[in-house]
Chains A and B, each alone.
Chain A
Amino acid sequence: MDKAKVKDNIAGAFTKENIAKAIFIVFAAFSILAVFIIIGYLLYASIPAFRESGFFNFLFETLWDSRQEVYGVARMIVGTLALTACSVLFGGLFGVFTAVWLVFYCPKKLKKIYTQLINLLAGIPSIVFGLFGYRILLPLLRSMGAPGTATGLVASTIILSVMIIPTITSITKNSLESVPMHYYEGALALGCTKNQAVWRVLVPAAKSGIISAIILGIGRAVGETMAVQMIVGNGSGYPGFFNPFTTLSSNIVQNWGYAEVWNGDFSQPTQQNYLFACGFILLIIILILNLLLLLTKKESNAGNHWFSRRFEEGNVKENQLRSYRRTGSAQDVLWILSWIIAVFVAVVLFAIIVMVILGAAVPSAIGLSGESSFTLNFLFGESSNAQITLVPAMVSTLMLILLALLIALPLGVGAAIFLNEYSKRGSKFVKVIRLFVDTLSGIPSIVFGIFGYVMFVQSFDMGYSLAAGGITLSLIILPTVIRSTEQSLSEVPDSMREASYALGAGKLRTIFLVVLPQAIAGIITSVILSIGRIISESAALIYTVGSAATFVPEGYGDNCASLAVLVWRLMSNGMAEDMNSAFATAAVLLILVIILNLLVTVVEWAFKRRNKV
């Protein structure tokens, strides 16, 4: 081959298309790398703990006492599993029913508003749920005669179930909406009533979407730290209805601040290593869950087996179908149930918002003493050690959002483009990436927090800083961005890509000018979900940005609490007026979330209108 030809070939390899593809691959690979670094570091830091006490001893020992240097997680594993199971049972049920109601039964005028309500529920910071559970739900349970301090499985299940409803509802809703209309029409043509068509044809057809909704719900439940930590009671026993218990994540957040820093010596583990081991066990639980779900997904992908069987059954038992219609069927009961649940979820949402804002405006209404902190001076006044205001925390929150999105959005969208546009569908490589993205999203935020602390605060010597917090947050929101962008990319019909190719556009041009604009609503949703997650986040930030909030940060190197961390800090200070300030801050968070949601509606409406023109 002569040299000129080789040169041409090399030049040919560096076309815009190939460079772009390489960049997307690198972005997708970054996600895997991040997961590997986190899991790898967790394993690395857990090994001394496992070596010192023995893996099975650690697993089955029931005592955790740093003074006797005995560390065991048996009762925390039981606690985490029991709480997750209970809240996914209730939250899952409520979430799926709400989604079905929303898609099939909701009056048309109400649909948009109700979707907004669900988004709003998703945006409520977990620390606000914690505050609500802690200061309103627990006293309520106590006044109803709950023994002791009323902490335990009942209270934490109530709060956690409500917290995972929006996750499950929104994903289930998406997959229900993507079931083709002719399924419904076909079912009606075969003589089904609307309720039968919905519950026996459309819901089963969306099964894999519902399952993935529940995975996300489980991830959220296992990962939840701050709200749970305030309500489970962190006792040394096993979970009971009103018996304080500890979960793996609440154990980490409670003890991390006290744990002696590990000096890297494998023969001298400190409590930090045992806490890393807790995080590692959480990861294993999540990996097992993901693998199980991968298996169930495989089954349902095999030609929609279940659905076709149902379909045939419907054919054979025509008489039965008719009798259903006449007598009222089980599906009719489900229909009524879905109405009740949907109304109930809305009532719960309003109750939380009203109680928190009421608590901020009139503290005595919820049993707090002292003056309301919900004043202009507290919101916008100059902050000092004599009187902390919200200005520093607001600036800090904004800076965290910007930094995290600047890092995670390009990475996440790039990875999603690679996954959906470049890789072969169903290839093993993609499956592995998905598994890792699922794992990343399942990692509890407190684990990100301690990882961020060790990696950025200590190893990179950033100290408690907004930079360390922002980078940690970008890792947390990365799976959200990847997943929802990928979801919306995959919903863009192939015919649009084919049409674009047929008109002579290249792959890159097709992606940026045809596919991405179609999926822009989904990307915006992912940004909103991410902002919600960032605003909500407290567990990952306490040990990365620190908890000072007295002065406006002068740059990304400063230590400054976000609004959510400030709520935590104020409620743990112990003074009556701080509790009122915590409620005022929580109310501000809620108002921000409401404004954010309204903004989104406006943006989406604008996009839809433009697309029509």
Chain B
Amino acid sequence: MKRFGKVVAVAAACAALTCSVAAFTACGGNTDSITITGSSSVTPLMEALAAAYEEDHDVRITISQSSSGAGITDTQGGNNDFGMSSRALTDEELSSGVTGETLCQDGIALIVGSGSSATNITTDEVKALYSNGTAACDGVITAAVGRDSGSGTRDFFDEHFELSTYASSVDSQAETGNVIQTIIGTTNTIGYISYGSLAGNNGIKAVSLDGVECTVENILAGDYALVRPFVIVLPEGGVSGMSQAAQDFYNYIMSDDAQEVISSEGYISIK
């Protein structure tokens, strides 16, 4: 019977631990909570905005990154306060009642390892490299990394370069960070990422596209071709369909103060 008692004691200890964890976590207070889900390209920017906002507001902003499509679906299903998308919404998505508001613009940079001698790539070379695996930049660039087929970044990239299926030698990485990490340290591999993610990473550099450098000036001047919008997905009913806390935060990210944060993070303010 002694042993049986011990088993019971262990079970009781487990239960007590659960309860204490639950109790410990339950006393978090009545802070307002905002949930934002969606595009992994927008997430770093949204985190920076949330960090700035939290400095003088008592609010919990939970940002869950997945994909543009998931962010839109979550908004449609009421699983978040608002969604993030790195592409414009399709007509079909708009027909369900959600709406999109452009937060800012983002360039897509073509990147290589910082040790690479490649500095410029042409549109035709990009097309040939991604669709047939043909070497580019005088044979310097022989391998390419893309994003997975549902990515908003890839959608935009493929549409711009009129690509459909990638050559079998092209890697597909799930996220922006994976593309960067695959390319760091190589000299012969090219990939494409959000321009905002370029800053702060030492092992990579952007190459020019058809002789135009990927810089904020060129993007603003309209010279650099690869530019796409970051979109906030609002639920049915627009801004007034959201909770008060979410409305306040939404008003903040659309304000001039927030545009300063956006510019300083390397994205292109639209105001």
Q: B193 interface residue, CB < 8 Å from A?
A: yes
Q: A68-B164, A139-B185 are in contact. Are A257 and B66 (CB under 8 A)?
A: yes
B35 in the interface, Cβ–Cβ < 8 Å? yes
Which residue of B60, B63, B171 is within 8 Å of A234 (Cβ)?
Answer: B171
Tell whether, in the assembled complex, residue A513 and residue B70 are in contact, meaning their CB atoms are under 8 Å apart: no
Q: Tell me if A238 and B168 are in contact (CB < 8 A).
A: yes
One of B3, B17, B48, B64 near A547 (C-beta < 8 A):
B64
| A186 lies within 8 A of chain B by Cβ | no
User: Which residue of B is nearest A403, CB measured?
Assistant: B18
Which A residue sits closest to B38, measured CB to CB? A257
**Whole-angstrom distance from the CB of A274 to the nearest CB of chain B?**
12
Instruction: Verify if A132 is at the interface (C-beta below 8 Å from B).
Output: no
Known contacts A243-B169, A260-B69, A386-B51; A579/B79 CB under 8 A: no
The answer to whether B43 has its CB under 8 Å from any CB of chain A is yes
Closest Cβ of chain A: how far from B250's Cβ, in Å? 16
Q: How far is the CA of A149 from the CA of B145 in the complex (A)?
A: 8
Q: What's the minimum C-beta distance from B219 to chain A, rounded to whole angstroms?
A: 19
Q: Which residues of B contact A384 (CB under 8 A)?
A: 51, 54
B100, chain A: closest CB distance, angstroms: 17
Contact yes or no, B200 A575, CB < 8 A: yes
User: In chain A between 402 and 452, which residues have their CB closer than 8 angstroms to a CB of chain B?
Assistant: 402-403, 405-406
- Binary CB contact string for chain B from 225 to 237 against chain A (1 if under 8 A, 0 otherwise): 0000000000000
A574 touches B175 (CB 8 A): yes
Given A65-B164, A65-B165, A559-B35, A569 contacting B65 (CB threshold 8 A): yes
The answer to whether residues A547 and B164 also contact, given A405-B14, A574-B201 and a CB cut-off of 8 A, is no
The binding surface of chain A is classed by DSSP as mixed
Name the B residues within 8 Å of A254 (CB-CB).
148-150, 172, 174
CB-based contact A234/B143 at 8 Å: no
Contact pattern, A 545-580, Cβ under 8 Å of B = 1, otherwise 0? 011101111111001000000000111111111110
| Distance A512 CA – B11 CA, assembled complex (angstroms) | 14
Give Cα distance in the complex from A238 to B167, angstroms. Answer: 11
Q: Does B238 contact A (CB under 8 A)?
A: no
B64 touches A572 (CB 8 A): no
A402 lies within 8 A of B21 (CB): yes
Q: Does B47 contact A (CB under 8 A)?
A: yes
Q: Judge whether B143 and A148 touch: CB under 8 Å.
A: yes
Chain A proximity mask over B32-67: 1 for CB below 8 Å, otherwise 0: 000101001001100110110011000011111111
Cβ of B93 to closest chain A Cβ, rounded Å = 9
The stretch of B117-125, B176-184, B240-248, B252-260 in contact with A is B176-184
Q: A463-B79, A572-B177, A576-B201 are in contact. Are A406 and B14 (CB under 8 A)?
A: yes
A385/B25 contact (C-beta < 8 A), A261-B73, A548-B63, A577-B200 known = no
A257 partner residues in chain B, CB cutoff 8 A: 66-67, 69-70, 150
Instruction: Please state if B67 and A258 are interface contacts (CB–CB under 8 Å).
Output: yes
Give the chain B neighbours of A546 by CB distance below 8 A. Answer: 37, 64
B181 contacts A148, CB within 8 Å? no
Residues B79 and A395 in contact, CB atoms below 8 Å apart? no
Supposing A546-B64, A572-B178, A574-B193 touch, asked if A258 and B37 sit within 8 A by C-beta, the answer is no
Interfacial chain B residues near A369, Cβ < 8 Å: 201-203
> Does B44 lie within 8 Å of A547, measured CB to CB?
no
What chain A residues lie within 8 Å of B61 (beta carbons)?
385, 550
Measured CA separation A282–B166 after assembly (Å): 25
Cα distance A556–B70 in the bound complex, in angstroms = 22
A63 to B189, CA, bound (A): 24
How many angstroms between the C-alpha atoms of A548 and B33 in the bound complex? 13
Which residues from chain A contact B47 at a C-beta distance below 8 Å? 385
> On chain A, which size bracket covers the interface?
35 or more
Question: Is A148 a contact partner of B60 (Cβ separation < 8 A)?
Answer: no
On chain B, the residues within 8 Å of A575 by CB distance are: 44, 177, 197, 200-201
Which residue in B69, B170, B193 is a CB contact (below 8 Å) of A236?
B170
B99 CB–A CB distance under 8 Å: no
Nearest-neighbour CB distance to chain B for A419, whole angstroms, equals 20
A483 contacts which chain B residues (CB < 8 A)?
A: none
Report the Cα distance A230→B79, complex, angstroms. 29
For residue B66, which residues in chain A have a CB less than 8 angstroms away from its CB?
A: 257, 542, 547
Among B3, B73, B170, point to the contact of A235 (Cβ < 8 A).
B170
Complex: chain B residue closest to A395, CB-CB: B25
Residue B28 at the chain A interface, CB threshold 8 Å: yes
Tell me the A138-167 residues at the B interface (CB within 8 Å): 138-139, 142, 147-149, 151
How near does chain A come to B113, taking the closest CB pair, in angstroms? 10
Closest CB-CB distance, B135 to chain A, in whole Å? 11
CB-CB contacts of A240-263 with B at 8 A, as 1s and 0s? 000110100000011101111100
Q: How far is B184's CA from A142's CA once the two chains are assembled, in angstroms?
A: 11
Are the CB atoms of A233 and B3 closer together than 8 Å? no
Asked whether B63 lies within 8 Å of A550 as measured between CB atoms, the reply is: yes
Q: Report the separation of the CA atoms of residues A509 and B167 in the bound assembly, to the nearest whole angstrom.
A: 66
Q: Does B221 contact A (CB under 8 A)?
A: no
Residues of B within 8 A of A577 (CB): 200
In the complex formed, the residue of A with least CB distance to B67 is A257
Q: How far is it, in angstroms, between the C-alpha of A178 and the C-alpha of B40 when the chains are bound?
A: 51
Which residue of the partner chain, among B37, B65, B67, B185, contacts A367 with CB atoms under 8 Å?
B185
9 tightest A-B contacts by CB?
Answer: A258-B150, A237-B168, A572-B175, A386-B51, A574-B177, A148-B143, A385-B50, A574-B176, A234-B172
22 intermolecular pairs with C-beta atoms under 8 Å apart: A65-B164, A148-B143, A148-B188, A151-B171, A235-B166, A237-B167, A237-B168, A253-B174, A255-B148, A257-B150, A369-B201, A385-B54, A548-B62, A550-B62, A553-B25, A554-B25, A559-B62, A574-B175, A574-B176, A574-B197, A576-B200, A578-B177
